[in-house]
């Protein structure tokens, strides 16, 4: 027999809206075999309201030596993680990586740099604009996603003028606990302002977060509703891979059942959005990644992440073909 809490959530399939209280009730009371019923509902909602599962690829175009103190991040200079560091990659090298992804069938390519961001037009920011122009010229059908930190209205406008299709700015967790769980060298308000600047100039947004930081279910539900209310187009969801040398290196990995429940809640809160499995799919969730993709997700990052490797694009394309049959 279907759990009454899940039965009530079936209203989303008919165009109904899940309230924050209902989402929190799912989070706190659904467990065990009922999670599979929740996953099934989330997948039904995804198939009815959202597009099919599709991959995207990202490139770490500038690595490490970041002045921000994000507790989870291997690229912060506040942590001793031993990662490879390098300055902004030349435009031709970025183009080579983008072309390789494009040739395997990936049509969304993420250009990512470490650092606070660009509130003024620096020579490095100009180099980024030139790189985006080159990508658009050589691969005009490629959808260019940019993730270069906090922006001003001026720099957001320039990105829009230089072919940025989507911008990634993750909230990471509930805004009310951002300084505690993530960082205190910048603010969540700066991030939200960046999203709104980009929306003003027609750039779509990809805004998500991380599970397993030490947050609770209320924090996860809060993040889901804040993201929904920002009217962003995409939501990448990461599962923390505790990295040696960061303050979170000793964190216990989140249980796959809880990840499935969190993913499903995000789908029920945002039925039509693009919800993406980002970091943690292969490295943390491993054998459970198929189940988790069917928890309402319709995108994934393929080919690797910023400082960790992933599965090959070719293998993931085949994987997606099978997932889309469910």
Q: pLDDT by residue (tens digit) across 265-282?
A: 999 999 999 999 998 888
Give yes or no for a contact between 111 and 144, defined as CB atoms under 8 angstroms apart: yes
Residue 7 inside a domain? The answer is: no
Neighbours of 231 (CB within 10 A): 12
Residue 145's domain spans which residues?
A: 16-317
Residue 237 inside a domain? The answer is: yes
Q: pLDDT by residue (tens digit) across 201-245?
A: 999 999 999 999 999 999 999 999 999 999 999 999 999 999 999
Banded model confidence at residue 308, pLDDT cuts 50, 70, 90: low
Residue 90 inside a domain? The answer is: yes
Residue 3 inside a domain? The answer is: no
* Eight-class DSSP state of 12: G
Residue 146 inside a domain? The answer is: yes
pTM (whole model) above 0.85: yes
Q: Which tokens go with 272?
A: 């039509």
Which residues are 239's β-sheet partners? Answer: 211
Q: How many domains does the chain have?
A: 1
Q: Is 247 exposed, middle or buried (0-12, 13-18, 19+ CB in 10 A)?
A: middle
Residue 323 inside a domain? The answer is: no
Residue 76 inside a domain? The answer is: yes
Residue 89, domain CATH: 3.20.20.70
Residue 10 inside a domain? The answer is: no
């Amino acid at each position: 027999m279907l759990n009454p809490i899940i039965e009530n959530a079936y209203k989303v399939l008919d165009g109904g809206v899940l309230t924050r209280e209902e989402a929190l009730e799912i989070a706190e009371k659904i467990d065990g075999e009922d999670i599979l019923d929740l996953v099934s509902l989330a997948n039904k909602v995804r198939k009815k309201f959202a597009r099919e599962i599709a991959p995207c690829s990202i490139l770490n175009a500038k690595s490490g030596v970041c002045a921000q103190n994000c507790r989870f991040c291997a690229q912060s200079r506040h942590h001793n993680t031993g990662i490879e560091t390098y300055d902004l990659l030349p435009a031709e090298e970025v183009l080579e990586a983008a072309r390789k992804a494009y040739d395997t069938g990936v049509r969304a390519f993420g250009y990512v740099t470490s650092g606070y961001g660009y509130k003024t037009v620096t020579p490095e920011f100009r180099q980024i604009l030139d790189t985006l122009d080159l990508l658009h010229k050589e691969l005009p059908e490629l959808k260019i996603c940019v993730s270069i930190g906090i922006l001003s209205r001026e720099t957001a406008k320039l990105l829009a003028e230089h072919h940025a299709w989507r911008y990634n700015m993750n909230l990471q967790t509930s805004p009310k606990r951002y300084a505690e769980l993530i960082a205190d060298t910048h603010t969540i308000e700066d991030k939200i302002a960046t999203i709104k600047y980009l929306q003003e100039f027609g750039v779509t947004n990809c805004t998500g977060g991380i599970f397993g930081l030490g947050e609770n279910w209320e924090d996860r539900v809060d993040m889901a509703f804040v993201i929904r209310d920002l009217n962003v187009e995409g939501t990448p969801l990461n599962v923390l891979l505790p990295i040696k040398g960061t303050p979170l290196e000793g964190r216990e990995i989140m249980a796959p059942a809880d990840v499935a429940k969190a993913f499903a809640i995000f789908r029920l809160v945002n039925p039509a959005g693009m919800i993406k499995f980002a970091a943690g799919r292969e490295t943390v969730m491993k054998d459970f990644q198929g189940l988790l993709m069917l928890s309402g997700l319709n995108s994934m990052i393929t080919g690797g992440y910023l400082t960790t490797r992933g599965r090959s694009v070719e293998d993931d394309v085949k994987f997606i073909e099978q997932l889309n049959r469910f």
